[in-house]
């Protein structure tokens, strides 16, 4: 059975495959690569594609898109609770974010810009408080370390010794 996929050609040099949140298969290929080579690549990755699609179906089933009322409640909670958590942990960690913003990001729970502006997705509020605290500390740690090197993780661990278990809650 042939795998259905969307082909996106560009000036890239490599071939890649991804499975979107909705389970759609997207293949990125160089402009001049033959269709036969692309089809061989997709066939060689069929097992991985099937597993990735299954993971995405499970994720969507566990975290369906909330209706408008639920979304409004999550946004309200994020705007109310996250600034307090940020202030508390920022004090403990001795850091100061330039700003805290609530977004509708779908692919990441939080981010920290080069100018120390921290953004959190309101979708984070669907997870346990322990996971929310982990994301807050993670993003605040980026004010000190702009990477995920050993010093970054040591800083996270100083404030959340059980950060691995908390991070795992985000993947369930």
Spacing of C-alpha 135 from chain mean position: 11
Rounded CA gap, 59 and 162, in Å?
A: 24
**Model-wide pTM > 0.95:** no
Q: Which residues does residue 7 pair with via DSSP β-bridges, in sequence order?
A: 27
Same domain, 54 and 132: no
CATH number of the domain enclosing 100: 3.30.2010.10
Give backbone dihedrals phi and psi of 10, rounded to 5 degrees, phi first: -155, -175
Domains of the chain: total: 2
Domain assignment of residue 1, yes or no = no
Same domain, 51 and 93: no
Same domain, 44 and 86: no
94 dihedral zone (left: phi>0; alpha: psi -120 to 50; beta)? left
Domain assignment of residue 124, yes or no = yes
Q: Are 28 and 15 in contact (CB under 8 A)?
A: yes
Strand ranges (E), the chain = 6-10, 16-19, 25-30, 99-103, 110-112, 117-121
Per-residue pLDDT of the chain (172 residues; tens, 9 = 90+): 689 999 999 999 999 999 998 899 999 999 999 999 999 999 999 999 999 999 989 888 877 889 999 999 999 999 999 999 999 999 999 999 999 999 999 889 999 999 999 999 999 999 999 999 999 999 999 999 999 999 999 999 999 999 999 999 998 6
């Amino acid at each position: 059975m042939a795998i259905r996929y969307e082909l996106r050609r560009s000036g890239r040099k490599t071939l890649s495959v991804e499975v979107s949140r909705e389970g759609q298969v997207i293949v990125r290929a160089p402009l001049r690569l033959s269709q036969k080579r692309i089809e061989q690549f997709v066939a060689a990755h069929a097992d991985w594609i099937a597993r990735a699609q299954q993971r995405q179906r499970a994720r969507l089933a566990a975290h369906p898109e909330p209706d408008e009322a639920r979304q409004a409640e999550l946004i309200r909670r994020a705007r109310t609770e996250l600034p307090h958590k940020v202030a508390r942990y920022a004090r403990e960690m001795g850091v100061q974010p330039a700003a805290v913003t609530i977004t509708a990001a779908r692919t990441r729970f939080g981010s920290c810009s080069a100018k120390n502006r921290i953004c959190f997705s309101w979708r984070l509020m669907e997870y346990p408080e322990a996971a929310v605290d982990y994301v807050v500390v993670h993003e605040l740690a980026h004010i000190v370390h702009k990477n995920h090197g050993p010093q970054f993780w040591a800083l996270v661990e100083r404030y959340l010794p059980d950060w691995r278990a908390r991070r795992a809650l985000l993947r369930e």
